[in-house]
Amino acid sequence: MKLAKVCKILFLGLTFVVIVFIGFSQTVLPLLPEHMIFRGWNSTEKNTGEQFGAVTDDVGLPFTNHGPVPDCIIRKKPGVVMLTTANLAFVDFVLNMLASVRKVGVCVDTTVIAEDGMAYDELQKYTKGDPAVNVLRTSSGEMDAMESRRGNAQYFGIMNKRQAYILSLLERGLEVLFTDSDTFWFRDPFPYFEGNYDMFIRGSRPHNQTRRINEIEFCAGFIYLKPTIATVQFVRTWVKVMEDYKKWGLLYPDQTVMNNLLKDDKPVHMNIKMLDPDLFPWGAAFFNPSWQKQNHPTVVMHAASIRGHPLKLQKFKELDMWLVNVKDFAGDSDSYEEPLLLALSCAFFLLFVIILLSIRRAGS
């Protein structure tokens, strides 16, 4: 009889451990910052070499939300690709950014990489008819369609895939403008990417070419790269360092890795042209009322430091910078994400209580 009770207690205890592990992995683990999560020494994800961040050949149907641009093919900038990525939550920002690009009359080959299946479907639907836009679906592992909290596993998962996409284009001899989706174009930025430089990028300090690189923090969210030998070597190392960190279970932001390499002048020296912050402002400055009164000749605004989809959307709409009438996918995802997490948490708690009561009864 005692042996039976012991076996029953052990069985219930093991069941409890399994339930705790499943509950933790589904509710708590996704909310942790990525660098706190150890994923083992031998990753099985397709993240090495050419497979890291690779995309399929599913070329999307190009954009008609604001009508086609008939002569766009003729006016395209040869040898240049604009690249952006998005999950479902930021599809609307991609479409708004593309609308601002068309509004200023720029026609550039644009690749949009969808990080989940629903984002791919929506981007295909809304970009149908635009001869400049190709929508590709990632093959390096789909990400969560919902908005990710800054610094958690999903956030880093999306951000740390971008450099492999950039590298694949540079290795084809193409100049690459990578832009986050939360940018808005007022004028053509391409005249500012001229000169014998490897990289054109915004920094944290005022526009001054004599400043030392190790005094500056650069932003990887709007960056123009030329396919020079130095650039290709730099981006290859950028990708490799992040992949090595991931193998060790230590994922760091792509921007941190980039800045560390630039400050250390590794693997090669990069000839950098700093973009003028009065022309390429970040969100914190741009949306400041005092800055607005100064009438800066803004070229492209990047809403960096404006945290979260809802606040970004609010800021854009306040200044009449929202050009599209599309679904707020981030808002919709929030509507079912929070109840789902609440339901999972309640179910986990109830199971915990039931197991405890069962163990107590079995031992009495």
CATH code where residue 125 lies: 3.90.550.10
User: Which of 32-46, 84-98, 341-355 is predicted least confidently?
Assistant: 32-46
The highest-confidence range among 73-77, 150-154, 349-353, by mean pLDDT, is 73-77
- Mapping DSSP to helix (H, G, I), strand (E, B) and coil, where does residue 164 land? helix
Question: Does residue 173 surpass a pLDDT of 90?
Answer: yes
Alpha carbons 99 and 316: distance in angstroms, whole number: 13
Give the pLDDT band of residue 32 (cuts 50, 70, 90): very low
Question: Is the domain of 19 the same as that of 126?
Answer: no
Question: Is the domain of 144 the same as that of 285?
Answer: yes
Instruction: Report the chain's mean pLDDT, rounded to a whole number.
Output: 75
What's phi and psi for 85, nearest 5 deg? -135, 160
Question: Is the domain of 223 the same as that of 340?
Answer: no
Question: Does residue 28 surpass a pLDDT of 70?
Answer: no
Question: Is the domain of 197 the same as that of 115?
Answer: yes
Select the more confidently predicted residue: 27 or 350: 350
Instruction: Calculate mean pLDDT across residues 58-67.
Output: 34
pLDDT score of 362: 60
Question: Is the domain of 267 the same as that of 344?
Answer: no
279 is written with which tokens?
Answer: 């022309």
Alpha carbons 198 and 220: distance in angstroms, whole number: 14
CB 175 within 8 A of CB 82: no
pLDDT score of 72: 75
Give the pLDDT band of residue 357 (cuts 50, 70, 90): low
Using omega within 30 degrees of 0 as the cis cutoff, is the peptide bond preceding 277 cis?
no
Question: Does residue 62 surpass a pLDDT of 80?
Answer: no
Alpha carbons 352 and 229: distance in angstroms, whole number: 58
For residue 229, give every residue at least 6 positions away whose Cβ sits within 8 Å of its Cβ, in sequence order, or none: 268
Select the more confidently predicted residue: 307 or 37: 307
For residue 346, give every residue at least 6 positions away whose Cβ sits within 8 Å of its Cβ, in sequence order, or none: none
Question: Does residue 69 surpass a pLDDT of 90?
Answer: no
Domain that holds residue 349: 1-31+331-364
325 Rama sector, left if φ>0, alpha if ψ -120 to 50, beta otherwise: beta
Question: Is the domain of 282 the same as that of 146?
Answer: yes
pLDDT score of 296: 87
Instruction: Calculate mean pLDDT across residues 102-113.
Output: 93
103 is written with which tokens?
Answer: 């509004």
Question: Is the domain of 232 the same as that of 311?
Answer: yes
Question: Is the domain of 244 the same as that of 298?
Answer: yes
| DSSP code per residue over 287-304 | T-HHHHHT----SEEE-T
Alpha carbons 75 and 102: distance in angstroms, whole number: 12
Tally of domains in the chain: 2
Instruction: Calculate mean pLDDT across residues 193-217.
Output: 78
Alpha carbons 258 and 266: distance in angstroms, whole number: 10
Question: Is the domain of 7 the same as that of 104?
Answer: no
Question: Is the domain of 239 the same as that of 187?
Answer: yes
Question: Is the domain of 12 the same as that of 85?
Answer: no
**Residues linked to residue 218 through DSSP beta bridges, in sequence order:** 203
Question: Is the domain of 15 the same as that of 137?
Answer: no
Could you tell me the pTM of the whole model? Answer: 0.71
Q: Using alpha carbons, select from 260, 298, 254, 303 the residue that is nearest to residue 280.
A: 298
Instruction: Calculate mean pLDDT across residues 271-295.
Output: 91
pLDDT score of 295: 83
